[in-house]
Structure 1
Amino acid sequence: MIGHGKLRKHRHLATDVAAVLLCFLFFYTGLSKLFDWEGTKSGLYNQVFPKWMADMLLFSLPVLEIGTSLLLMIPKTRHFGFRISIILMACFSGYIGLVLTGIFGRVPCSCGGVIDSLGWWEHLVFNLIFLGIGVGGWKLGKVNN
């Protein structure tokens, strides 16, 4: 049987791993949006939401994603970073789910970067996995404190 100290150590390790995985994901996606500004702009304008929302997302998403990755790196802000990660991944997953239902009447292009090679279904699975990682890290982080 695992002792209380060892269990606590494993929970800390699992929380750290979850934070690092999400940190890399959000840092990568935020930077890729900045480095491929025109591609990001084109991709957002091809989505089904209005132009004003695309404009808002174009400027806010990279900052929010990179900011979230920074929150996840700092132990004192990690819990908040997990919460933002969960909200972002839930929103992204919900949007993909709506696209897949056909509610918008068309399927827009997917995001850029390495993830661009994923289809919408694969992207949904990918997002749900990272949503689970975020929830797990958040819950384990609460237990650790």
Structure 2
Amino acid sequence: DFDNYKNMIGAFYQPRLVYMNMDTLKTLPDDQFASGMAEILKSAYIRDAEFALWLQKNRQNVSSRDPDTLAHIIRKCCEIKACVVSDDPGETGLRAILNFGHTLGHAVEKLKNFTMLHGHCVAAGMAAAGYLSVKRGYISEEEYQFILEMNRNF
């Protein structure tokens, strides 16, 4: 972020590795942890329904910040993002799914003068995008309700 603008400055380089410091996650306040969960849920929604169901089933381990559970989640999210990015390195189509919840979420951030955590805004954006997707026939009401339930649970 720069001067109240989102994603305006940056460079595109693919990581060679991802370092997971699990101890850092233990230090996060609950609201920050929940904010991060929105990005995890986004990854599940856009690319891996089985992972979304796994998150639902393992909600207690996630909430208690079980290190093995969190390591699995981080690995899975890295795999999902790497798959999307490798399929569309020039950001010409498929990669746009990584923005699920962000377009509307960034609007919420701006309207709230950046007082809400990013992940909470993304969750609101996913709920709004889900609603619009139902209205346009892209997803079912059941899928939309699942998004709302998961957003509430985490």
Common topology (TM > 0.5): no
| TM band (smaller chain) | 0.3 to 0.5
TM-score, structure 2 length as denominator? 0.35
TM score, norm. by length of structure 1: 0.36
Q: Flag the structure with more relative contact order, 1 or 2, with Cα contacts below 8 A and sequence separation at least 6.
A: 1
Greater share of helix:
1
Give the structure with higher Rg (CA): 1
